[in-house]
Amino acid sequence: MLDPRETLLTVVDVQERLVPHIHGNEELVRSIRKLILGCGILGVPVVATEQYVKGLGPTVEPIRAALGRSVPMEKMSFSCMQHDAFRALLEPLERRSILLCGIEAHVCVHQTAMDMKDAGYDVQIVGDAVSSRFPLNREIAFKRFQQEGIRLTTVETAVFEMLKLCGTEPFREWLKVLKD
């Protein structure tokens, strides 16, 4: 079970020039936004990345707004784990459970998940918050995640798992996010 004290959310490359070409992009952005807000309610740190900003543009506005003061980190490597500044930020947080979302499932998300797993992290792919330009690429990536022993979850499953209880203030805040 996910524990908010041991979990980190990584949002991979949800950028202006790429998002319009992603399968199911509107629902994807809504799901990622909800996940970021849910993690915020629970005090789960969020790290966002941007791939080659000059070519792909910045993070889309709904995600930037949900991130608040957290500034996405630019990278050139497909895997976040191949970026020194990302690893330097990740390691001192001492969070061994990683929720991973973003685009594209078969490139940056896939390579990040594999490298995180190899580094000893417990990685969960947030299925309704990950996509690719073409559904087949997403489908094959998800099969590879499962073959590699990387678990799948959803936005609601992950947040409710970390909440653990209803009737609390965080639960009431989460319900407001769900109704948005």
Q: Tell me, yes or no, if 75 is annotated catalytic.
A: yes
Q: Domain boundaries in the chain?
A: 7-179
pLDDT confidence tier of residue 65, bands split at 50, 70 and 90:
very high
Q: Tell me, yes or no, if 128 is annotated catalytic.
A: no
pLDDT confidence tier of residue 180, bands split at 50, 70 and 90:
confident
Q: Tell me, yes or no, if 108 is annotated catalytic.
A: yes
**Closest CA relative to residue 155, chosen from 28, 8, 3, 16:** 28
Catalytic residue among 80, 101, 108, 115: 108
Model confidence over 95-149: pLDDT tens digits? 999 999 999 999 999 999 999 999 999 999 999 999 999 999 999 999 999 999 9
Q: Determine the average pLDDT of the residues in 6-24.
A: 98
Domain 7-179: CATH superfamily is Isochorismatase-like (3.40.50.850)
72 CB-near residues (< 8 Å, 6+ apart): 11, 48, 49, 50, 58, 59, 64
